[in-house]
Chains A and B, each alone.
Chain A
């Protein structure tokens, strides 16, 4: 469904994303992990049209997304959420979601109704008339998700929707993401909460300093030496191997 070919972006002298190739198949949940500053959000920004890549292409259902503007990409069915939540703070929860619904629905009353339906699906029914600015962190993260879903996407890009949530809230969102996939939406997510990554992903890509260093199922990734080094520092994988050997 989504094919990224040798995508690159440089900021000044910093190679934020370098020659990244990846693929997300229809109906999959694919995750993208990596240490802070690895270039994950930059990659998402290029897929969703917020940043133009220096090189490479982003093919979605055969269409080139690189160089398109964000609203166009959203209308084609690819929508992103923001790592730093971006609510329309002075609008109610219902109005926030309705903005997303308007992407497909012209009539105001219908969009507002649809917003109510989506909010209830995500367990936000009680908050419909609250201003978005008054929501808790968990509420805002959920609102990001609700607004994105309201645009009726086929591919959902989730940028750390679980960061800052309590373990209970994380478990709830994990369930929600599963439900969303079950409804036929493909999911590509950036996440730091490993518990979620491990339980959700069909496949995982690991990005470090702008380059992909590993790809595979979560279980495979967890034992890849390059990944352990990226997270824990140079030589860590070797030290672990020695320790394991010593205890055996």
Chain B
């Protein structure tokens, strides 16, 4: 596809998302799409480091959770405005990312070693969040006070008692905005020197260094950008649910969700995490419905299904669903191969 075709595609997608409330009125569907975008944003965060940079993290919850906890605690303990807290949440997450990145990349940890380091850090923070009860409230979690004053809905970044529109769509549009930011950043990265150097490091670190690339700096940049996007998801989560606990923040489920979407959708592509998130959420819902029909509710069955899909994708679709779509597109429009 040419660049122009891509721009048109993104414009159509943006319009569809912005206008969604006009043609989707069911709250359940809005929730479904909002959740899909949430997964797509975390997936893009992971994709920047894992897909473009080739550094597979198994602990991206670390960046999600750190931002979420800061966002919650700064309001809970110090009464900070959420609009101010979010900058600290963002900065805190990037700080943790720089620390983990420095340790791993300075000492040249790659592949499974890097995966284990990130996993270990996420688990360590999980335990810390549980045990530093005087700061984090421990396993009980942090529950933010509900604002019931419609006047202060925007000031408190809580839409439960806001006017009808904000109440119904406030967080949906928040999510759309976050996604726009994350995907625009990735789009920019793909067309920048930074992106080219990051991909070069993924493909062959020695060759990249021989050609003048500071691999350490490039990887540090990637992990920070990656963490910033995870942080946005964490800030959103806290404002939407007004609650965070160690399991949600640092448990393995967020880490796994973040890496599923881009791997299934297509590593190192802008669209991959979104396609993957749609697939995961769609198939997950359908699977739950069907299995529920025959064998009642069996929590976790969808995860088994994802496991199978993941193995199949890794084995047969190294470029993910996006690769599959591109191949099909090329077969349908033979000329398109030329200007891809």
Q: Does B211 make an interface contact (CB < 8 A)?
A: yes
Q: Which residues of A contact B210 (CB under 8 A)?
A: 48, 50, 70, 74, 79-82, 86, 148
Name the interface size band of chain B: 10 to 19
Measured CA separation A95–B199 after assembly (Å): 10
Measured CA separation A81–B211 after assembly (Å): 9
Q: Does B96 make an interface contact (CB < 8 A)?
A: no
A128, chain B: closest CB distance, angstroms: 13
Name the interface size band of chain A: 20 to 34
User: Closest B-chain residue to A99, C-beta based?
Assistant: B200
Comparing A6-14, A30-38, A100-108, A221-229, the segment that makes contact with chain B is A100-108
Q: Which residues of B contact A182 (CB under 8 A)?
A: none
- 8 Å CB contact of B192 from A82, A103, A108: A108
- 8 Å CB contact of B203 from A71, A80, A90, A108: A90
What are the interface flags for A68-86 relative to B under an 8 Å C-beta threshold, 1 for contact and 0 otherwise? 0111101100011110001
Contact of B206 with A99 in the complex, beta carbons under 8 Å:
no
Contact of A82 with B203 in the complex, beta carbons under 8 Å:
no
User: Closest B-chain residue to A86, C-beta based?
Assistant: B207
Chain B interface mostly: helix
Contact of A50 with B206 in the complex, beta carbons under 8 Å:
yes
Q: Does B193 make an interface contact (CB < 8 A)?
A: yes
Q: Does A46 make an interface contact (CB < 8 A)?
A: no
Q: Which of A48-74 contact B (CB under 8 A)?
A: 48, 50, 69-72, 74
Contact of B211 with A91 in the complex, beta carbons under 8 Å:
no
Contact of B212 with A82 in the complex, beta carbons under 8 Å:
no
- 8 Å CB contact of A82 from B196, B197, B207, B215: B207
Q: Which residues of B contact A231 (CB under 8 A)?
A: none
Q: Does B209 make an interface contact (CB < 8 A)?
A: yes
Contact of A102 with B199 in the complex, beta carbons under 8 Å:
no
11 A-B pairs besides A50-B209, A147-B207, A151-B212 with CB distance below 8 A are: A50-B206, A72-B214, A74-B211, A79-B211, A82-B210, A87-B207, A89-B203, A91-B199, A99-B213, A102-B212, A103-B212
By a beta-carbon cutoff of 8 Å, the part of chain A in contact with chain B is 48, 50, 69-72, 74-75, 79-82, 86-91, 95, 98-100, 102-103, 105-108, 111, 147-148, 150-151
A-B contact pairs, 25 of them (CB 8 A): A50-B206, A50-B210, A69-B214, A70-B209, A70-B210, A71-B212, A71-B214, A71-B215, A79-B212, A80-B210, A81-B210, A82-B206, A82-B207, A88-B200, A88-B207, A89-B204, A91-B200, A99-B196, A103-B211, A103-B212, A106-B193, A108-B193, A108-B196, A147-B207, A148-B211
By a beta-carbon cutoff of 8 Å, the part of chain B in contact with chain A is 191-193, 196-197, 199-200, 203-204, 206-215
